[in-house]
Amino acid sequence: MRIDILTLFPAVAAIPLGESMIGKAQQRGLVTIQAHNLRDWARDKHRTTDDAPYGGSQGMVMKCEPVFAAVEELRAQELERRMANGSDGASADGSPQVTSRVLYMTPGGRRFDQKMAAEHALPGAHLIVLCGHYEGIDQRIIDHLVDDEISIGDYVLTNGALAAAVFVDAVVRLLPGVLGDENSAPDDSFASGLIEGPQYTRPAEFRGWRVPEVLLSGNHGAIARWRREQAMEKTRRVRPDLLAE
């Protein structure tokens, strides 16, 4: 999988993705993540990427030219890489041609969740993640370049680079082989539609607080039942909307 992030703040997106499991996944060649500075595609000497809105209103709007130039170049590079690998545009896992998908991070997008993360976690895919800034971007970018608009939640960040890092982390950890233990992704909160229940480790007693006896019992059936009950109880308490779904 290859992910290109287009942002005015590449370090904000790249640094968290170089750490921990996602950093290791990059080192092991399971994914290539590159954060690019959108200004590199600006043509003028001030490297302008925004301009005042038509019709007049507050703030600045991201311009078409650098974004189209960047996406077109990144798409062409990806196609070249695939041709060089002899795969004529087909994905690395042998599935039919995967076109580069362009995702725009914006609080006005579809709300991101675990299901969307799983839909994007395709080993052969190429994603271009465009980060918003200023008051928005020219609508022609959304109409003619963007495949999906994604929000990571109902709050507004100062720019989309942090949102891109969140999105990419959630997607990449679902790629086969990224997590150390192949079983841990299906156990995640949300994967089952429930929030994960409590976990304990040694010691069995700390400051008088004992680990629930059932976990020490060795009875796997009873432990599985207890975990399910705990997950139900926690979901009912903190996220009743998930049970309604």
Select the residue interacting with ligand ADE from 17, 33, 163, 185 (CB under 6 A). 163
Asked if 107 touches ligand ADE (CB under 6 A), the answer is yes
Rank residues 155 and 209 by Cβ distance to ligand ADE and give the closer one: 155
Please identify which of the residues 80, 93, 135, 229 carries the catalytic annotation. Answer: 135
Asked if 59 touches ligand ADE (CB under 6 A), the answer is no
Rank residues 82 and 120 by Cβ distance to ligand ADE and give the closer one: 120
Query: How far is the C-alpha of 94 from the C-alpha of 82, rounded, in Å?
Result: 12
Query: Long-range contact list for 198-207, CB < 8 A, 24+ apart?
Result: 198/230, 198/234
Vertex 85: Cα angle to 84 and 87 (nearest 5)? 105
Instruction: Select the span of 54-62, 146-154, 193-201, 215-223 touching ligand ADE (CB under 6 A).
Output: 146-154
Rank residues 163 and 172 by Cβ distance to ligand ADE and give the closer one: 163
Please identify which of the residues 73, 188, 196, 233 carries the catalytic annotation. Answer: 188
DSSP track, 58-103: SS-EE-HHHHHHHHHHHHHHHHHHHHHTT-TT--TTS-S--PPEEE
Does the annotation count 107 as an active-site position? yes
Closest among 141, 129, 68 to 103, alpha carbons compared = 129
Does the annotation count 188 as an active-site position? yes
Does the annotation count 245 as an active-site position? no
Does the annotation count 119 as an active-site position? no
Query: How far is the C-alpha of 142 from the C-alpha of 40, rounded, in Å?
Result: 21
Query: How far is the C-alpha of 47 from the C-alpha of 53, rounded, in Å?
Result: 18
In the complex, which residues of this chain contact ligand ADE (CB under 6 A)? 105-107, 132, 151-153, 155-157, 160, 163
- Catalytic machinery residues: 107, 135, 173, 188
